[in-house]
Chain A
Amino acid sequence: MRQAGSYSGILMSGKTGPHLLPLARIKKIMKKSGDGVKMISGESPIVFSKACEMFIGELTQRSWMVTMQGKRRTLNKEDVASAVMATDLFDFLLNLVSEDTFKSS
Chain B
Amino acid sequence: MVDEQERLLPIANVGRIMKQILPPSAKVSKEAKQTMQECATEFISFVTGEASDKCRKENRKTVNGDDICWALGALGFDNHADAIVRYLHKFRVAERDKAAQNKASCSRNSQDKEEEESSQDQQPHQQADVPSNSKLQVLEFSH
Contacts and interface: CB of A to CB of B under 8 A. Distances in A.
Interface stretch (B45-53, B94-102, B115-123): B45-53
* B contact patch SS: helix
Contacts of A7: 69, 72-73, 77-78, 81
Contact of B61 (A38, A61, A75, A100): A38
A39 B61 contact: yes
A73 B52 contact: no
A78 to B, nearest CB: 9
B22 interface: yes
Nearest to B71: A8
Interface string B57-70: 00001111111111
B32 A6 contact: no
Contacts, number: 226
Contacts of A22: 9-10, 13
A11 B66 contact: yes
A49 B137 CA distance: 30
Contacts of A56: 14, 17-18, 21, 36, 39-40
B32 A79 contact: yes
A55 B38 contact: no
Contact of A76 (B6, B29, B61): B29
Interface residues of B, number: 68
Interface string A55-87: 111111111111111000111110111011111
Which of B46, B72, B79 has the most chain A CB atoms inside 10 A of its CB? Answer: B72
Contacts of B43: 51-52, 55, 92-93
Given A56-B40, A58-B84, A64 B73 contact: no
A68 B68 CA distance: 34
Contacts of A104: 31
B44 A80 contact: no
B78 A68 contact: no
A75 B46 contact: no
Given A36-B49, A38-B61, 15 more contacts: A4-B73, A7-B81, A8-B69, A20-B16, A29-B48, A36-B56, A40-B62, A57-B17, A61-B21, A68-B136, A75-B27, A75-B29, A77-B32, A92-B42, A93-B43
Closest 3 CB pairs of A and B: A5-B78, A8-B73, A43-B65
